[in-house]
Chain A
């Protein structure tokens, strides 16, 4: 009896909207950065704001933190309007991009900073700082100058400095952008574990879709100052709402198509069975087919037929580019296909995802300029990422 009550309470807690943004708009010098954002974040959730530079994700985070004021709209914290509450009075702490650790203080004093400001007793400070440093695997670093730490260690100090204050919400602004790939993967796991252990709501900003998919409970995809889609990582990946989301999250073949009737889509000149319904008859739509969902069959057995124009070995699979009626498809397969060979493709009904036409329709073409696009997509080296990050903040600072 008692237990069910507790469980119910817990459920209720998790349904609580801890942050609620209503009709938020913001522009810098006449340039709109956020256009009517509506978003709520549940208590204890791990939410990621995902989008390319300049999409407004950092500005949204800074509005929640109190560093920016929205031009229009309201910010609620546990149902209380906090538009006019300055950052130092919000129970929200931030892990800044490039950390912003205080260079005049050592690791211990950096972490203790918020507690000292709050006039917490010394022995309590010492206890909490030690606990938090242990939590981020920095035991024994108390006396070190922050300037002597590596990027990953500084990152941990920044996280500890925020967490030690027991905030209701932790804001993380591209915290891993400056780290190298290997360290980034480790930190992703650690952050996820930290989230589970502390039970604090995490709001995480990144432009790295893989990071977002692997860490978040909920992803908020943003572009051009608007929220494009809110959903779980699987929703976002499997059911992208428009061509932008489909293109930004993972690889996609996005085709122009027509919904002939419920469960009947026509694209690439051929009619396919699909699982989507609820469109008007003959409504023009965008069709998404993920590269891993396309099966390769002998040419004569294929629903579509095309010529292989490119083959790249990716380790786990081959990435091949197939020209089908002038549209270059990307297909990921474990079977090798020789360049210039003619192959057939087979697409299961559940591999076809139908989307309403949007302002992004037609903006993301096929993989004909694949090599260039690939360069752009693989921002593996941290410096390139830092630059995009910088651009983002510059926009925010203006």
Chain B
């Protein structure tokens, strides 16, 4: 018994070392930098200066929200479609869905940029059939497109998971009690997949709000989002303000995740990954 619990404790050691070095310590640094000035004196100045960044916060939230809503509108029907296929076909579809996730996010975003760019594939094609160039890179649409493109699988997977757990008999019972397809979806499928939806929203919203690469590449530098701002602060060695922005963003994310988890009941199928 003792021996076993020793083994169990030992199993935790590698990860504990890892988290202390790369999660806990950096967090402490962030908190430290957020509340000190360049000379290391305690101050609230960094945090109070954040009101200057309100626009950036607003824009980031707006972009992330739009991307999340689009992901939900595209991802939910897709997850529903996949979950109603034969099991063998479901596996293939899920594999196809996850395939892009095997490639680095940076590479994916970069290739999307080259596709959409002025000299890119899309515009070359348009030119070839006699249309003029369309300026896509640098627009808000391109940034949101990039977010949806990069994060859509994170919406589909948890929703698919909670849908595939639904007993076929719930569908039959609903139909038996007078529901056509739409009513079954609204009265049974939707409420029973709320946990999956919450999970999906969280998993798309959080990376969307903190991304900097997508807005830089596809936004062509026209949009300053939180992620970009943080990056710039650190590049300019303005650690204190950068840390303060990071801290506030982290707290905002934590609060929104907590609020969303309130809506999800664990025992109703689906699972929360966050």
Instruction: Determine how close the nearest CB of chain B comes to the CB of A95; give it in whole angstroms.
Output: 9
How many A-B contacts are there with CB distance less than 8 Å?
66
Which of the residues B168, B169, B178 comes within 8 Å of A114, measured between beta carbons? B178
Residues of chain B contacted by A87 (CB below 8 angstroms): 172, 175-176
**CB interface residues, B 228-243, toward A, < 8 Å:** none
Residues of chain A contacted by B107 (CB below 8 angstroms): none
Contact B192 A94 (CB under 8 A): no
Q: Whose C-beta in chain B lies nearest to the C-beta of A62?
A: B172
**Most chain B CB neighbours (cut-off 10 Å) among A67, A87, A114, A116:** A87
Q: Whose C-beta in chain A lies nearest to the C-beta of B170?
A: A100
Size of interface on B: residues with Cβ below 8 Å to A: 21
A103 within 8 Å of B by Cβ? yes
Which of the residues A93, A103, A118 comes within 8 Å of B176, measured between beta carbons? A93
Instruction: Determine how close the nearest CB of chain B comes to the CB of A129; give it in whole angstroms.
Output: 13
A349 within 8 Å of B by Cβ? no
B179 within 8 Å of A by Cβ? yes
Contact B170 A88 (CB under 8 A): no
Contact A100 B180 (CB under 8 A): no
Contact A118 B178 (CB under 8 A): yes
Residues of chain A contacted by B167 (CB below 8 angstroms): 100
A102 within 8 Å of B by Cβ? yes
Contact A86 B188 (CB under 8 A): no
Contact B176 A104 (CB under 8 A): no
A147 within 8 Å of B by Cβ? yes
Contact B183 A117 (CB under 8 A): yes
Contact B173 A88 (CB under 8 A): no
CA A100 to CA B187, docked complex, whole Å: 14
Contact B170 A102 (CB under 8 A): yes
Residues of chain A contacted by B183 (CB below 8 angstroms): 88, 117
Contact A104 B191 (CB under 8 A): yes
Which of the residues A86, A93, A397 comes within 8 Å of B177, measured between beta carbons? A93
Instruction: Determine how close the nearest CB of chain A comes to the CB of B162; give it in whole angstroms.
Output: 12
A25 within 8 Å of B by Cβ? no
A165 within 8 Å of B by Cβ? yes
CA A314 to CA B170, docked complex, whole Å: 43
Residues of chain A contacted by B268 (CB below 8 angstroms): 103-104
Contact A100 B173 (CB under 8 A): yes
B8 within 8 Å of A by Cβ? no
Residues of chain B whose beta carbon lies under 8 Å from any beta carbon of chain A: 167-170, 172-180, 183, 187-188, 191-192, 267-269
Besides the contacts A67-B175, A94-B172, A104-B268, what 9 more A-B pairs have beta carbons closer than 8 Å?
Answer: A86-B180, A88-B175, A88-B178, A96-B173, A103-B192, A104-B191, A104-B192, A114-B178, A117-B183
